[in-house]
Amino acid sequence: MLDVIVAGTGLSGLTAAYLLCEAGLSVRVLEAAGRSGGRIKTLKGADGAALGDLGPSWVWPAHQPVARDWLARLGVESFPQYETGDALIDMAAGQAPMRRPLPGQHGIRRITGGPGALVTALEARLPEGVVRYGARVAGISHDGLRTADGAEHSAKTIVLSMPLRVAAALDYTPALPADLLDAMQASPTWMAPQAKALAVYECAFWRDSGLSGRVASQVGPLVEIHDHCGADGSPAALFGFVGWPATDRAAHQDVLKHAVLEQLTRCFGANAANPVALEIEDWAANPLIASPRDLTEPPRHPEIRPAILRAAQWDGTLRFAIAEAAARSPGLIEGALDAGARTAAAILENQS
């Protein structure tokens, strides 16, 4: 029997797995998808180089000590978000966007290579064969879990590192306490209803025009746009959050891409009309991320959830490690790192 099974290879799960393996415990990590990272996803070019992030992008090391310490521990660098120049205010259809200086976000930084660099660094520190893909959890019991293919995996402790609403839909034997299930189902998955568009270009032509790449729009389809270039300006890219509801995005995918290009061209000129790549990641369409409830509620910023979500269940044999359950920076990259580290620490303390 293994010491620990971690279900999910998001940042929280990989952080917990790394710390537990480092402490000498036997660990297996199961992932339903064919890749690691959860909501962290990197668009890559034909040569495998990172072009940009389709999930989270930012950290604030000056204000997030956990993120700062983990970047140092894993040897991952960061650089300031580009905010030099004017922003564009895109207020009304048929009107040209207005140039305006806008205050920046103090301390906002991007991770060199994107947040996927954290995922890669953590995976590289796991023993070979620890992570298994295509293993979707179907049921949980006191001494292990069952995957959708019928395979049984036994362990002294199970760590669920998946959105709480997705985890709430699993089969538990015995059943979870009602107050715990209520807390799980009431916990929105950060960014689950959202879609992110990434446009990659040959060069950052907007910078040459004195623009920061930042757009605030009431026209859309992108309600926010930001510069997303690499630390040295390459690769050159812009990203934006899509304002269309999930149902409209699903029904009009081709129209959405065309509308995004029209908006980028309206804001940044003819050079924006022909990106090297244009990718839209719709997290609402991913059942491993978004639950039906996530798609029916208005999006709201994560808040610290009830302590029961951070407590051990079933006499310490079941725990949750996910950014939304974190006691600091819930939903964010720092929250994911903190949730994974605190879960690992609690397991190790229980072992002693």
Please tell me if the domain spanning 1-40+115-186+300-352 has the same topology as the one spanning 41-113+193-288: no
pLDDT band at residue 301 under the 50/70/90 scheme: confident
Annotation: CATH topology of 41-113+193-288: Polyamine Oxidase; Chain A, domain 2 (3.90.660)
**What CATH superfamily is the domain 1-40+115-186+300-352?**
FAD/NAD(P)-binding domain (3.50.50.60)
Rounded mean pLDDT of 209-223? Answer: 97
Rounded-to-integer distance, Cα 110 and Cα 80, Å: 6
All structural domains of the chain with their residue ranges: 1-40+115-186+300-352, 41-113+193-288
pLDDT of 352 above 90: no
pLDDT (average), residues 108-122? 97
Task: Specify the pTM.
Answer: 0.96
pLDDT digits (tens, 9 = 90+) for 118-138: 999 999 999 999 999 999 999
pLDDT in tens, 225-256: 999 999 999 999 999 999 999 999 999 998 99
- Please determine, for residue 139, whether its predicted confidence score (pLDDT) is greater than 90: yes
Per residue in 302-345, pLDDT (tens digit) is 899 999 999 999 999 999 999 999 999 999 999 999 999 999 99
Encode pLDDT of 149-174 as tens digits.
999 999 999 999 999 999 999 999 99
